[in-house]
Structure 1
Amino acid sequence: MKNNVTVIGFKNSGKTTYLAGMYTIMSAGRKNFSLVTKDPDLDLFLENLWDGICSGNFPLPSDKDEIFSFHLAHNYKPVCDFDWLDYPGGILADPNHPSREKLNTSIREAACLILVLDGDLFAIDATSEADYEAKLTQKLEFDSGLRKETKALTRLSAEGIVIPPICIVVTKCDKINFDYQAAVEKVLRESLKGVFEGNPLVMVSSVSFGEGIDHGAAPDPYCIEQPIAFAVLVILLKYLKALKISRTDNKEFVNKSRDIISRWWNSAKISAAENNIKELAGVSDKWSEDAYKLLELFPDKKKIYINGKEEKFKPYFRDIFCELGK
């Protein structure tokens, strides 16, 4: 199984800025988690990129796909390795892009899909939350970029590609009135109804590095760790499900071999199965423990959408991990 996280978004959505800032801040440690690249040259590249952004030198939109291999740790103990597959802005809506077939394969094999939306799209002056919702709904309805991206997702389903769990990331959320942050998620749920109702797992995360970072202001990170945490939770969920199947198969074999003749005839296989059960239980406990630690990165009010149905994020994942750990 591949631990791939496929990342797409509009041009100028802040996808590269988010990657550089998120990496630089998390590589120094954030809430007991730390993130590093396996390639020291990529570490230097991302650090320099972020330093340039903080000096007002924003990167030009990327026209190529790139792979960043990351290692996530908690208190310097390994949690998960994964590949961040970053694709050019607008590629999903461009069927003739040279990397389009590669993207389709990447989505098909991905554990998680991250869709990055430009926070500028959500920066609307309004007199109230209801006024904001109405204006944003109208704006998204007629936004050509959003329409092309969602239409492209529909085409993927027509090609038999199952869309993996999605994290919708709204960048630059410091430009959005804080009182309207909840309305952003509500409007997205209605505007992208097909995405929410057609996918087993969807999370919305508004992120920001604070105002004025390009003019020397100190970064003020807001929820930048959530997309990474969600992606890794989905990866751990995938492995725990596979582990559960393997443990169940071993238990069933041992239970079917309880009579004296079977235990004598299959003694070596039974012994191996019993050892496997113990080893798998240890691995399952480790992954479950890591998952519970990741859940602490989310507020209690955080939501997750299961085939369009709203659930509380933490209880949903806790119940699943508890069941898989049995």
Structure 2
Amino acid sequence: MRIVEIGHEGVGKTTFMASMYGILHKGIEGFSLRAIHINDHNRLIKLAKNIEQNKYPAPTDQRQEYQFYLQYQGQDFFPFTWADYRGGAIRETQDSEQARLLQKDLQQADGVLVFCDCQALVQKDARRNQIRRMTALMTNALKNIERPIGLAVVLTKADLVDEINEDHLQPFEGLTKAIEVSEYIASMRIPIACGCEPINVPIPLLFVLYVGIYIQANYLGQEIEQHQQMAKYYEQQTHGFGGFVQELWDIVQGNTTYREMSQESLEKAIAKYKELEPLIAPVEALEKYLSLGE
């Protein structure tokens, strides 16, 4: 699975990532996070500890990519790649390298986290232009999408504002409409706060991962059903006198019999179920944690 993180300048993406990793590395509701590369782990843990003391990292100045494993009950079970873009990328010209990479990543992403500073929305300052540019990029990248994708709109620094109303969210109007008319985008709007008293920090990542895991489980379920139907069809061809004669003929000719094809389809169904089984409990646990079944 591929996740893209995008936000305007100063929105706190690096702070979020470090806080999120620090919380999820310790574990929550049976889930934990493991960075594949030890250097990424050490850096994120160090930043997370600083954030707990209200020491915040400087903004990133370039695109960074990380590789993680989501773990359940201490076991690796879902790998994903995370591409993090510096805030200035959304203001670059369309022919710049960063802009091209961003458009490509957005179009190929399985999950997207869009970050916006709550104070920028409420105060309606100059950063709203960056927010409009960012949502326009997102709308353009997603308008023709024809595959399932998870999208989390992450409202950072929610503890520093009294409330967020629909007027404040006006810069998201175009993106919101694109989401509403799409049958492929599963979205969630999530206010968060990092620091010594974090709010909702693990939820954006766990939501887009839930969408990715659910989609994979659904595809496997469809494949299992198809193999089972084929097994049933082939088995039906062996019934009766005609089926008996056909089976004898296939044996004499050295052809694969319907009985053998039925068994082969059943074995394929079993193999797919073995891929599906490790996903069932995590999907149910994530649904409960994110309150998606209510």
TM-score (norm. length: structure 2)? 0.81
Whether the 8 Å CA contact 2:228–2:265 is kept in 1: the answer is: yes
Residues 63 and 141 (structure 1 numbering): CA distance in 2 closer, same or farther, change over 3 Å? Answer: closer
CA 194–148 in structure 1, closer or farther in 2 if over 3 Å, else same = same
Q: Is 1:290 equivalent to 2:282 in the alignment? A: yes
Which one-letter code corresponds to 1:14 in the other structure?
Answer: G
Q: Tell me the residue number matched to 2:177.
A: 194
Aligned partner of 1:47 among 37, 45, 67: 45
Alpha-carbon shift at residue 240 of structure 1 (Å): 1.8
Query: What secondary structure, in the 3-state scheme, does the structure 1 residue paired with 2:97 have?
Result: coil
The separation in 1 between residues aligned to 2:76 and 2:30, in whole angstroms, is 12
Determine if contact 1:91/1:97 at 8 Å carries over to the other structure.
no
One-letter amino acid of the structure 2 residue matched with residue 205 of structure 1: I
Measured after TM superposition, the shift of residue 252 of structure 1 is: 2.5
Q: Which residue among 58, 74, 81 is the counterpart of 1:60?
A: 58
The corresponding residue for 2:262 is 270
Secondary structure in structure 1 of the residue aligned to 2:221: helix
Structure 1 residues 75 and 245: CA distance shift in structure 2, 3 A: closer
Secondary structure, aligned partner of 1:222: coil
Aligned counterparts of 1:102 and 1:77: Cα–Cα separation in 2? 33
1:66/1:86 contact within 8 Å kept = yes
Q: 2:273 aligns with which of 246, 267, 281?
A: 281
User: What percentage of aligned pairs have identical amino acids?
Assistant: 18
User: What is the CA deviation profile of residues 292-312 of structure 1, one whole-angstrom value per residue up to 9, with x for unaligned ones?
Assistant: 10122224xxxxxxxxxxxxx
1:175 match: 160
Change (3 A) 1:142 1:15: closer
Q: 2:232, 2:262 within 8 Å by CA — same for their partners in 1?
A: no
Q: Secondary structure at the match of 2:14?
A: helix
- For the residues of structure 1 that align with 2:167 and 2:218, how far apart are their CA atoms? 29
Which is worse superposed, 13-22 or 102-111? 102-111
Equivalence for 2:100? 101
1:119 and 2:118 correspond: yes
- Show CA shifts across 1:102-136 (max 9, x none): 22222222111110111322456xxxxxxxxxxxx
1:152 aligns with 2:130: no
Structure 2: state its 5+ residue gaps.
251-256
- In 2, Cα distance between the equivalents of 1:157 and 1:196? 8
How far residue 15 of structure 1 moved from its aligned partner, in angstroms, is 0.5
2:254 aligns to what?
Answer: none
Alignment partner, residue 230 of structure 1: 207
Rate the CA distance shift 1:162–1:186 in 2: closer, same or farther, 3 A. Answer: farther
The SS at the match of 2:104 is helix
Instruction: After superposition, give the CA deviation of every residue in 1:160-181 in whole Å (9 maximum; x if it has no partner).
Output: 566833100011111122xx36
Q: Is 1:165 matched with 2:174?
A: no
Distance 1:75 1:116 in 2: 29
Q: Of residues 31, 42, 46 in structure 1, which corresponds to 2:29?
A: 31
| Alpha-carbon distance in 1 for matches of 2:116, 2:159 | 14
* Change beyond 3 A, Cα 1:192–1:93: same
Question: 1:260-311: per-residue Cα shift (whole Å, max 9, x none)?
Answer: 2477713333212112223323433431221110122224xxxxxxxxxxxx
**Counterpart position of 2:293:** 314
1:58 match: secondary structure: coil
Cross-structure match for 2:253: none
Query: Residues 17 and 195 (structure 1 numbering): CA distance in 2 closer, same or farther, change over 3 Å?
Result: farther
- Aligned partners of 1:208 and 1:222 also within 8 Å: yes
The 2-side partners of 1:99 and 1:233 are apart by 28
Q: Which residue of 2 aligns with 1:143?
A: 128
Q: Structure 1: where are the runs of 5+ without partners?
A: 125-138, 214-218, 300-312, 316-326
Cα distance per residue 1:55-112 (max 9 Å; x no partner)? 5553332222111111112221334111111112142343243222222222222111
Alpha-carbon distance between aligned partners in 2 of 1:23 and 1:267, rounded to the nearest angstrom: 52
Distance 2:37 2:211 in 1: 24
